[in-house]
């Protein structure tokens, strides 16, 4: 990909990201819709089969997940949440809501004193099912994040048999999200309106 092609791709991604952010911020009834979306996630056969499941912790206007943590924790599954350290996502085995506190950026995250406990540290290849946030998606499962690449770095090491399931409001769905060679497609995208089967990691995107 040439420099000019890369610049054009970045501009297209930025434009879609801005539109999606605006639409998500303006979305009414976020609590109600989020409950519907996460209920669908927890009703998946892939969820029923999974022993170790990663949930993301919602921030700002993302589909809200934390209201489902008590039910997930009571399910007998091993629940894992990510948190950021020096630009990388680390994984934490969550066993109680008491293990979370509000961090520096007003983000709910594992308490600092628990992060180094060996039993709390989880490797990405232990995950059987991965819930993924994002800013914009399309029906192929293409995803646009915040542009920092945190999830891309994590997901490229996930097992191929561990489904990647993104949560989004329908207003975050676009006709086509531009992708680069390193971008990873979701196996499913769940909104309040539908469950979209994505391309997954079986196929690589073509250079735009």
SS3 of 142-200: CEECCCCCHHHHHHCCCCCCCCEEEECCHHHEECCCCCCCCCCCCCEEECCCCEEECCC
Structural domains of the chain, with CATH: 3-197 (3.40.50.10420)
Distance separating alpha carbons of residues 88 and 101, to the nearest angstrom: 19
* pLDDT tens profile 144-157: 998 778 899 999 99
* CA 88, 89, 92, 97 torsion-angle sign: positive
Paired tokens of 18: 């801005």
* pLDDT tens profile 85-121: 988 999 999 999 999 999 877 889 999 999 999 999 9
What Cα–Cα distance (Å) separates residue 3 from each residue in 7, 43, 204? 6, 44, 21
Q: What is the pLDDT of residue 50?
A: 98
**Phi, psi values for residue 77, rounded to 5°:** -85, 160
Instruction: Please provide the distance, in angstroms rounded to a whole number, between the alpha carbons at the two ends of the chain.
Output: 8
DSSP string, 103-150: -TTS-EEE-GGGTT-GGGB--GGG-SEEEE--SEEETT--EE-SSS-H
Distance separating alpha carbons of residues 99 and 24, to the nearest angstrom: 29
pLDDT above 90 (res 207): no
pLDDT above 80 (res 22): yes
* pLDDT tens profile 48-83: 999 999 999 999 999 999 999 999 999 999 999 999
pLDDT above 50 (res 208): no
- Residue 76: closest CA among 121, 42, 41: 42
Q: What is the pLDDT of residue 24?
A: 98
């Amino acid at each position: 990909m040439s420099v000019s092609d890369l610049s054009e791709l970045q501009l297209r991604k930025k434009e879609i990201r801005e539109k999606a952010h605006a639409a998500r911020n303006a979305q009414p009834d976020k609590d109600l819709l989020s409950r519907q979306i996460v209920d669908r996630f927890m009703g998946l056969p892939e969820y029923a089969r999974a022993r170790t499941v990663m949930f993301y912790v919602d921030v700002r206007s993302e589909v809200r997940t934390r209201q489902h943590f008590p039910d997930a924790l009571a399910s007998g599954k091993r629940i894992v949440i990510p948190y950021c350290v020096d630009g990388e996502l680390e994984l934490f085995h969550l066993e109680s809501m008491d293990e979370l506190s509000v961090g520096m950026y007003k983000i709910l995250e594992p308490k600092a004193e628990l992060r180094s406990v060996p039993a709390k540290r989880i490797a990405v290849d232990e995950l059987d099912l991965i819930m993924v946030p994002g800013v914009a998606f399309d029906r192929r499962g293409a995803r646009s994040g915040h542009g920092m690449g945190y999830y891309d770095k994590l997901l490229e090491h996930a097992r191929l048999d561990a489904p990647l399931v993104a949560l989004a409001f329908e207003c975050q769905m676009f006709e086509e999200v531009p992708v680069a060679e390193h971008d990873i497609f979701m196996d499913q995208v769940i909104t309040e309106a539908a469950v979209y089967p994505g391309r997954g990691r079986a196929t690589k995107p073509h250079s735009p």
